[in-house]
Amino acid sequence: MRARPFLILAALLAAGPALAQTRAERRVDRLNDTMTQQNQMRSIQQQNRFDTNQIRGEIRRSETMAPTPPPPAIIGRPR
């Protein structure tokens, strides 16, 4: 009967490093997921910034290239 608790203790001690490795691997996986999400957010922000700058440039170009208004019509006296 005393052998049973000893075997359970031995099994837990043997599993300890495997459990620790599994925890470490889960932590690394969580860190990788976090970095992936941050990278995706950064990519979206960069694309938004690029699109905004493109639109601003188009607006500025359209404002500076606006056609000049036609000259005022000169209404003369009828002859």
- The string of pLDDT tens digits covering residues 19-74 is 667 888 899 999 999 999 999 999 999 999 999 999 999 999 888 876 777 778 77
Q: Would you call 78 helix, strand, or coil by DSSP?
A: coil
- What does the DSSP 8-state code read for residue 77? -
pLDDT of residue 18: 67
What does the alpha-carbon distance between residue 12 and residue 6 come to, in Å, rounded to a whole number? Answer: 10
Residue 1 has pLDDT above 60, yes or no: no
